[in-house]
Chains A and B, each alone.
Chain A
Amino acid sequence: MASAFAQVTAVTALNLRTVPSRLGPSMVIVIGIAGVVGVLVALLAMAEGFRATLSSTGRADRVLVLRGGANDELSSVIYRSQVPTIEQAPGIRKDADGKPIAAAEVFMLTSLPRRGATDPTNVVVRGTQPNVLAVRPEVRIVEGRMFNSGMREIIAGRGAAAEFEGLTIGGSVAVRGDGWKVVGIFESGGNVHESEIWTDAEAIMSAANRGAPTSVIAQLESESQLQPFKDFLTKDPSMTVDVLSEPKYYASRSKMLSNLINGLGYFVAVVMAIGALFGALNTMYAAVSTRSVEIATLRALGFGAAPVVVSIMLEAIVLALAGGILGALIAFVLFNGYTISTLNGQTFSQVAFDFRVTPALLVQGIVWAAVIGLFGGLFPALRAARMPVAEALRAG
């Protein structure tokens, strides 16, 4: 069977040598497939980035307490009277002073224009407690200082600061009433909080005429405390609350948009792949018909049908892979790390996130290319193999 391999090599080499002379048609495969793979990888990278941003928010041993039945923080209300019960519930970690590491927060929206724009955009304002850095240790103030309690002072997430007008240290914005001074900029490892503005819960509630916080966030002693903590609160008849681990909550808030983007990505890619497949078929059929004499000559010299089929398919796949790699590279160069900001319809708020062109996505794109190449080469190859030798020779 060494001769079969030798035959394939000989025929393939012959075919590939003629590719430069058929550069235009060959580019159809390369560019068509590069387009498909580029769009697929870019869209999946967007969904991946969005998912990563939301799922990197929160830790499994941290919980969010919402009013029972509320979908999210925006629609939740926790009565002030319920807050001490939650904070004293078993399983919450205590700090050095023996105080529970938990914070009652108020989640609101305000409207700020993007830099250089006038149209208002929804921005999350999170009223929180002075101990928030203990509750969320991943947050670091990178510029300026923490807000003071009871004051109209805010700190802005790095994403928000980059995006919105007025969010620079020393600047002042209207949150609820004018004159909220920006005193700090914070980072939180690229998660969703970086698109938010934080301030003191009491200050914002009084400015907004609001009597109750929206939620309580608490650090558990360990992940295993979730169930006892939850049981304790849900069994208390004076409490109607839902308890969710942070990752679970944020994953549920990203589901709709990331499903939408993923769905769009695959749909568009499938449709485009069909289009590229037809282009590839065209090119390969043309390649077979211009080479019918060569192929017939090889067959007349004693080459088998199989090497002809394999070599034509190899050519299609090589071109398709070239397109796939090109498309994946374009997506990587243009989009990896590209920051996009859009409205998360589930929370009515803006969220900024980076496209993430992961190795897995690149591999996926190239696999798609190979599959398109496979089918684009298969049928023309079969036709070439079935071509009657004598007739093809005469036609030449």
Chain B
Amino acid sequence: MKFFPLLWATLWRRKPRTIFTMLSIVVAFLLFGLLQAVNVAFNQGVEMSGADRLITHGKYSFTEILPYGHYQQIRSVPGVDKVSHATWFGGRYQSEANFFPIMPVDQETYYDVYPEFVVADDQVATFKRERTSCIVGRGLMEKFGWKIGDTIPIQATIWPKKGGSNAWEFQLVGVMDARDETMKGQEDFMVFRWDYFDEARAFGQGTVGWYNVKVANPAEAETVGRSIDKLFANSPKETLTETDKAFNAAFIKQFGDIQFLIASIIGASFFSLIIITGNTMMQSVRERVPELAVLKTIGFRDGGVLALVLAESALLCLIAAVIGVLLSTFASGFLKPFLPGLEVNLGVWTLALGAAIVLALVVGAIPSLRAMRLNIVNALSGH
């Protein structure tokens, strides 16, 4: 790129101005990166959900509990490969602020249905052997400083033990990792054994929260789901079966207006930014009129001068965008404990760089057209 030294030199023509402008853009892209990372966190559940997995929950709300008796019936539905189940335990470790999901699950099948969470074979074996054992995500283990073999006390919020005590205790026998690096953070929950839970709880015996169903052929997922629901139609506990993806997507849609809000903030900050940066580019072109005329005299074409000014604008916006998104990557690393799943991924980068180019074109449009239309004779005699 032989024009680069020229571009670079003109970009830094007035250092303070370029730096201030760049910092404004950096700040906007820091915001952009972080807000997009929030979006990623929101949508992560949807992205990770397997296409071959269904969730069967209460017809009227996923908070309804279902009879354990549905288990065998669902297993017998043609096209069903594996069935597992889980229940929402609620519960808190020390305080409500430490919230993480806790679920009693079927220790025999849970990790067959959720292959995206990896636990060492011997740890799963211990989990199947020890009635009061539990497994937690790697992130939680690090956050709370737990070790394998520790007893973790959990206060029940929904499910007291027989006799009314809320104090449950589980032995930590295993740790989960997300199979995929991009899913890191998703594994931060706790599972323990449903058989122990069902025996020890004060009420609700013989029920589970929902069933996770792995189908043999993903293409038949919808059909299998309908067969399952038909099975329980007009029973006291009707069900609704949907793909994990649809379930997660519907859940996220419930935050709907919040996502609109995020888009509005980005819009407002970019609008302010276009004004700030556009003004800088105008100033810069205004003071360079004689220089641009010289370039034209030397033989740069109108289009070439236009391209130079646009390229300068693009260079300014891209450098700032890269710095801004890098900063947002670091910042989201710090914020991850407060908002799990926060991630500046490749999609965010692509979006940000795209936005930077659009921004560059918008703010560069008027100055570059002005530079292009510059009349050499007038510009030179203006001296």
Contact = CB atoms under 8 A, between A and B. Distances in A.
A340 B264 CA distance: 14
Contacts of A42: 264
A303 interface: no
B164 A240 contact: yes
B257 A174 contact: no
A283 B92 CA distance: 53
B258 interface: yes
A39 B157 CA distance: 38
Contact of A342 (B61, B166, B258): B258
B60 A176 contact: yes
Interface stretch (A25-33, A84-92, A93-101, A305-313): A25-33
A76 B166 CA distance: 12
A70 B158 contact: yes
A333 interface: no
A272 B25 CA distance: 10
B269 A282 contact: no
Contacts of B263: none
B178 interface: no
Interface in A107-123: 108-111, 119-122
A286 B17 contact: yes
A31 B272 CA distance: 6
Contacts of B275: 27-28, 31-32, 279
Most chain A CB neighbours (cut-off 10 Å) among B261, B272, B279: B272
Contact of A109 (B63, B256, B265, B268): B63
Nearest to A343: B254
A4 interface: no
Contact of B250 (A36, A119, A208): A119
A350 B256 CA distance: 11
B155 interface: yes
Given A119-B250, A285-B17, A71 B61 contact: no
A69 to B, nearest CB: 4
Given A75-B157, A278-B21, A32 B276 contact: yes
B92 A71 contact: yes
A174 B269 contact: no
A77 B282 CA distance: 67
Interface SS majority for chain B: helix
B164 to A, nearest CB: 5
Contacts of B20: 278-279, 281-282, 285
A273 to B, nearest CB: 9
B280 interface: yes
B119 to A, nearest CB: 28
A279 B276 contact: yes
B237 interface: yes
B27 A272 contact: yes
B236 interface: yes
A95 to B, nearest CB: 32
B225 to A, nearest CB: 15
Contacts of B297: none
Contacts of A122: 61, 254
B49 to A, nearest CB: 16
Interface in A244-297: 268, 271-272, 274-276, 278-279, 281-283, 285-286
A67 interface: yes
Interface in A309-349: 340-343, 348
B10 interface: no
Contacts of B96: 71
Contacts of B273: 275
Nearest to B250: A119
B151 interface: no
A127 B131 CA distance: 38
Interface string B145-158: 00000000001111
Contacts of A119: 249-250, 253
B168 to A, nearest CB: 11
A111 B61 contact: yes
A190 interface: no
Contacts of A209: 236-237
Contacts of B158: 70, 75-77
Contact of A275 (B90, B269, B279): B269
B280 A69 contact: no
Interface string B107-137: 0000000000000000000000000000000
A25 B282 CA distance: 10
Interface in B230-286: 236-237, 249-250, 253-258, 261, 264-265, 268-269, 271-273, 275-276, 279-280, 282-283
A69 B279 contact: no
A76 B31 CA distance: 40
A24 interface: yes
Contacts of B63: 74, 108-109, 348
A25 B21 CA distance: 13
B256 A342 contact: yes
B321 interface: no
Interface in B185-210: 203
A68 interface: yes
A374 interface: no
Given A69-B155, A75-B90, A285-B17, A275 B27 contact: yes
Nearest to B237: A209
B16 interface: yes
Nearest to A26: B279
Most chain B CB neighbours (cut-off 10 Å) among A35, A174, A274, A341: A35
Nearest to B282: A24
Given A31-B272, A32-B272, A39-B265, A278 B157 contact: no
A49 interface: no
A175 interface: yes
Contacts of A175: 60
Nearest to A25: B279
Contact of B23 (A27, A111, A274): A274
Given A70-B158, A71-B90, A111 B272 contact: no
A110 to B, nearest CB: 5
B258 A278 contact: no
B24 interface: yes
Nearest to A379: B16
Given A43-B265, A342-B257, 8 more contacts: A38-B268, A68-B166, A69-B157, A108-B63, A268-B31, A272-B27, A278-B27, A348-B63
- 10 shortest A-B CB distances, which residue pairs? A35-B272, A275-B27, A279-B276, A69-B166, A75-B158, A343-B254, A278-B20, A109-B61, A275-B24, A278-B24
22 contacts: A24-B282, A35-B272, A43-B265, A75-B158, A77-B158, A110-B61, A119-B249, A120-B250, A122-B254, A240-B164, A271-B27, A271-B30, A272-B269, A274-B27, A275-B273, A279-B275, A279-B279, A282-B17, A282-B20, A340-B257, A342-B257, A342-B258
